[in-house]
């Protein structure tokens, strides 16, 4: 049976805190069109449709704090302590600062020792890499939305769905590289907010990181880091 493990900086969610997310895609899509379709289905499944009718003369109203509309799902699946350590290593691997500066473009890149984002949209950090700190950030963001009274045209909602798992590969080909007898940690994060950050805008994105490790848990290769496409929906 899979065990749930937790990053040391992020509280473990008990089973009764975890909401079902069966509609989420489990593997990265093979095409951009399919990926967008899966992302939209995941958004609707977790947070509901980001639509609202704004009639002429409509005014925003104060929506009371409602934690039920702001869901956090965190799953770290490991069969033993060795796999748990590999997930922790994958979540701890930091993106190169030079890559972050390049992704930021003309804007100033964030500074710090554990920077995983390269810009902000709607006041929300956009990930360059999925790390344990990134998971903690979105988890706290969603939880805080659920505690606030928000003045909006329609009831706001938000969600985080995160899954980390480990698989062993006798032979792996990834990014024009070939690896033998390696463990692969896949980190997948889906975040969405509908009218929680602002009155009239919603956003969602899916980000995946694949980390290749040897038998001793040393990181050999990281795939998936880079700028993230973030569609913005507005009413």
- Residue 205's alpha-carbon distances to 77, 136, 232, in angstroms, are 22, 16, 10
Tokens representing 12 are: 């473990």
For 85-123, write each residue's pLDDT tens digit.
999 999 999 999 999 999 999 999 999 999 999 999 999
For 204-223, write each residue's pLDDT tens digit.
999 999 999 999 999 999 99
For residues 200 and 207, the answer to whether their CB atoms sit within 8 Å is no
The whole model's pTM is what?
Answer: 0.79
pLDDT computed for residue 54 by the predictor: 63
What are the residue ranges in the chain where pLDDT is below 50? 1-43
């Amino acid at each position: 049976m899979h065990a749930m493990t937790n990053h040391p900086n992020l509280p473990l969610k008990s089973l009764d805190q975890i909401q079902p997310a069966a509609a989420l895609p489990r593997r990265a899509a093979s095409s951009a069109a399919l990926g967008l379709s899966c992302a939209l289905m995941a958004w609707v499944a977790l947070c509901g449709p980001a639509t609202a009718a704004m009639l002429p003369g409509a005014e925003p109203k104060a929506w009371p704090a409602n934690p039920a509309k702001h869901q956090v799902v965190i799953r770290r699946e490991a069969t033993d302590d060795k796999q748990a350590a590999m997930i922790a290593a994958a979540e701890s691997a930091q993106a190169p600062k030079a890559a972050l500066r390049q992704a930021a473009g003309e804007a100033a890149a964030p500074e710090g020792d554990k920077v995983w984002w390269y810009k902000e949209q709607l006041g929300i950090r956009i990930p360059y890499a999925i790390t344990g700190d990134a998971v903690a950030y979105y988890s706290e963001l969603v939880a805080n939305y659920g505690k606030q009274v928000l003045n909006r045209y329609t009831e706001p909602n938000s969600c985080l769905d995160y899954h980390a798992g480990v698989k062993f590969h006798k032979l792996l080909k990834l990014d024009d590289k070939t690896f033998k007898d390696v463990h692969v940690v896949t980190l997948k994060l889906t975040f969405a907010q509908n009218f929680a950050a602002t009155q009239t805008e919603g956003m969602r994105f899916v980000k995946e990181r694949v980390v290749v490790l040897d038998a001793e848990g040393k990181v050999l290769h990281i795939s998936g880091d880079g700028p993230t496409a973030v569609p913005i929906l507005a009413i």
